């Protein structure tokens, strides 16, 4: 650290120069986050100094978090759901599985996740000393139910289904997983970190949320399609028992027990998530998701015109495009300042997420570049 003070405007100018090295959201196809909604930024700013790690000092903010959780529960078919605003999908998934493990009493057990699960489940296996069994996918890239059945045993502490897979935007057959979960009396966790703010606004008839009685917990991230500021994750449990299974005694704080993973945690994210939900309402979210789906169709249409097919017909605003030599194509795209990612083996493809920051114009520019690159490497 410096010895002497640097004037505030010089510090800020230096920050601005540094930020110029970052890339622009306008050219990001690889991210599940977006520029936050302006009202989220204002709300975040208003609640910057609040700490929900010691909620008794900030009862107003704590009430806001409760109301945010209530709205999320309502969106997911269970207004009385219990939970909290976490730092993101990883923390929510960790905590959901931790609750399931603690309640089941299976200390050295296993969990079954689809092969398409987010890498947060690998961290969970390590952190919670659980074996992470990966079930195969069917030809639509949904989890194969017979593979789940083959992996389950008396030591299974939780089943996981994904509503909006990270790579393909696919939705697992959650109804069928729910049948297995109730037959075995096992916790079913649904990872809707991405899909939670998409599926309720799509009218595709899929059943995947708390409307299925066997669904015990759901991850839903306001900092992805919820347009809130980072870090804002959502963790919801159908029953208070699961929250109780996460309790730690906090002797000297304003509340005697804590259920969150982190101690000190900002109330700003909860305020941001609350603000966006109140401001947009279902109507606003339907419009926003409609726009992202229109971008998705525009991309797929344009890709087909240049002879590129998606791996699956997109279910939500995630597209996996089949191109020859995906790593090479991606590298060339990156050279042209297009930020795309790739799905993993054995289904290597270009992965694109159509978020609110994307535009039809930029999709057209991207497709023109992709066409040139493909012609060049063939
Ligand atoms: N579950 C699912 C289904 C996810 O897609 C993700 C993240 C998580 C859990 C974990 O969420 P957190 O990252 O909030 O802990 N999916 C994105 C991904 O890994 C996250 C992301 C966002 C990656 C922005 C890159 C990026 O620029 O692809």
Q: Residue 251: pLDDT band by 50, 70, 90 thresholds?
A: confident
* The pLDDT of residue 372: 98
What is the value of pTM for the model shown?
Answer: 0.97
**pLDDT tier for residue 225 given thresholds of 50, 70 and 90:** very high
248 Cβ below 6 A of ligand 1:
no
Measured by CA distance, the residue closest to atom 18 of ligand 1 is: 166
The verdict on the CB of residue 172 being under 6 Å from ligand 1 is no
Ligand 1 center to residue 88 CA distance, Å?
8
In whole angstroms, what is the distance from residue 179 CA to residue 143 CA? 14
pLDDT at 167 over 90: yes
| pLDDT at residue 161, as a whole number | 98
Instruction: Give the pLDDT of residue 254.
Output: 86
Note whether 8-35+282-377 and 38-279 share their fold: no
Tell whether ligand 1 has an atom less than 6 A from the beta carbon of residue 90: yes
- Residue 214 has a pLDDT of 98
Residue 189 Cβ contacting ligand 1 at under 6 Å:
no
Ligand 1 close to Cβ of residue 120 (< 6 A): yes
- Residue whose entry in the numeric block shows the structure tokens 């809707």: 192
At 254-296, the pLDDT tens digits run 888 999 999 999 999 999 999 999 999 999 999 999 999 999 9
Helices 268-305, 360-377: axis angle to 10 degrees equals 50
Closest protein CA for atom 26 of ligand 1: 31
Is pLDDT at 27 greater than 90 in this prediction? yes
Nearest to 299 by CA among 238, 359, 221: 359
Tell me which fold the domain 8-35+282-377 belongs to.
Answer: 3.90.1150
Q: Is 196 in the pocket of ligand 1 (CB under 6 A)?
A: no
Distance 32 CA to ligand 1 centre (A): 6
Q: Could you tell which of 25, 29, 32, 233 is best to mutate to test the pocket of ligand 1, judged by most ligand atoms within 8 Å of the CB? A: 32
Which residue's CA lies nearest to atom 20 of ligand 1? 32
Asked if residue 111 has pLDDT above 90, the reply is: yes
As a whole number of angstroms, the distance between CA 153 and CA 163 comes to 24
Mean pLDDT, rounded, for 170-182: 98
Phi, psi at 164, each rounded to 5°: 105, 80
Q: Would you call 372 helix, strand, or coil by DSSP? A: helix
Q: What is the DSSP letter of 200?
A: G
Q: Is the CB of 193 under 6 A from ligand 1?
A: yes
What is the assigned CATH class of domain 38-279?
alpha beta
pLDDT at 187 over 90: yes
Domain ranges of the chain: 8-35+282-377, 38-279
């Amino acid at each position: 650290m410096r010895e002497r003070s640097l004037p505030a405007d010089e510090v800020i100018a230096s920050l601005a120069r540094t930020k110029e090295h970052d890339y622009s959201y306008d050219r990001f196809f690889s991210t599940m986050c977006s520029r936050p909604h302006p009202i989220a930024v204002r709300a975040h700013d208003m609640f910057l100094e609040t700490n929900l790690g010691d909620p008794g000092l900030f009862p107003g903010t704590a009430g806001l978090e409760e109301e945010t959780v209530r709205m999320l529960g309502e969106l997911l078919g269970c207004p009385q759901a219990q939970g909290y605003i976490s730092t993101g999908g990883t923390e929510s998934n960790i905590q959901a599985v931790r609750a399931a493990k603690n309640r089941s009493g299976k200390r050295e057990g296993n969990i079954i996740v689809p092969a398409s699960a987010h890498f947060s489940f690998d961290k969970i296996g390590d952190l919670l000393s659980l074996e992470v069994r990966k079930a195969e996918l069917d030809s639509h890239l949904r989890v194969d139910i017979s593979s789940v059945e083959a992996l389950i045993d008396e030591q299974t502490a939780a089943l996981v289904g994904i509503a909006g897979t990270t790579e393909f935007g696919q939705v697992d057959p959650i109804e069928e997983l729910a049948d297995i979960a109730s037959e075995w009396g096992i916790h079913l966790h649904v990872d809707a970190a991405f899909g939670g703010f998409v599926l309720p606004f799509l009218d595709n008839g899929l059943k995947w949320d708390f409307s299925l009685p066997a669904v015990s917990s759901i991850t839903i991230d306001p900092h992805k399609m919820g347009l809130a500021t980072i870090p804002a994750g959502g963790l919801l449990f159908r029953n208070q028992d699961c929250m109780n299974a996460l309790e730690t005694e906090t002797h000297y704080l304003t509340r005697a027990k804590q259920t969150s993973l982190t101690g000190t945690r900002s109330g700003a994210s909860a305020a941001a998530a609350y603000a966006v939900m109140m401001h947009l309402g279902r109507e606003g979210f339907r419009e926003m998701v409609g726009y992202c789906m229109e971008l998705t169709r525009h991309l797929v249409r344009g890709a087909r015109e240049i002879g590129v097919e998606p791996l699956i017909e997109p279910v939500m605003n995630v597209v996996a495009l089949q191109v020859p030599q995906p790593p090479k194509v991606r590298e060339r795209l990156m050279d042209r300042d297009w930020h795309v990612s790739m799905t993993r083996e054995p289904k290597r493809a270009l992965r694109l997420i159509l978020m609110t920051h994307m535009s039809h114009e930029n999709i057209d520019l991207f497709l023109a570049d992709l066409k040139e690159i493909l012609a060049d490497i063939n």
